[in-house]
Amino acid sequence: MFSIENNNIVALVAAAKEGFAKAYAPYSQFQVGAAALTATGKIVQGCNVENASYGLTVCAERNCLAQGVISGEQAFSAIVIYTNQDKLTPPCGACRQVIAEFLAPEALVMAVNHNNDTKQWTVNQLLPDAFMPKDLLEK
């Protein structure tokens, strides 16, 4: 796993909590915040945004990484997901695929909750043998 300085982890958790507070989850009441550290050292954040047509809901992790891309970043070294659930919440399958697109296989993915419990994975642990851009080029 890539080494992330403790002060960066603290800042990522704080940013993920801020994202959590902005979540739009009127249907499920399941708020999620996320924050990612870019390869250039910036922190971007996101939150889940629900929709009355449930399939159109966008997760915090994907919104977070999209915010980074919008700001000109395409490489990230870590992502933190924050919820107020007692059980730590890993990224869903769609988010795992998007995370694998933008973070290295050994990059940090961390779940944090309101009790400050944490669980850490690498991208590769969450999505081994991910479908990647190179798979589009190989014949």
Whole-number Å distance between alpha carbons of 76 and 21: 23
Is 61 catalytic? The answer is yes
Specify the 3-state DSSP secondary structure of 137: helix
Terminal-residue alpha carbon distance, the chain: 31
Specify the 3-state DSSP secondary structure of 74: coil
Whole-number Å distance between alpha carbons of 21 and 24: 9
Rounded CA Rg of the chain: 14
Select which of 5, 18, 50, 61 is catalytic.
61
Which tokens in the block code for residue 130? 């991910």
Return the bridge partners of 83, or none: 113
Q: What amino acid positions are annotated as catalytic residues?
A: 61
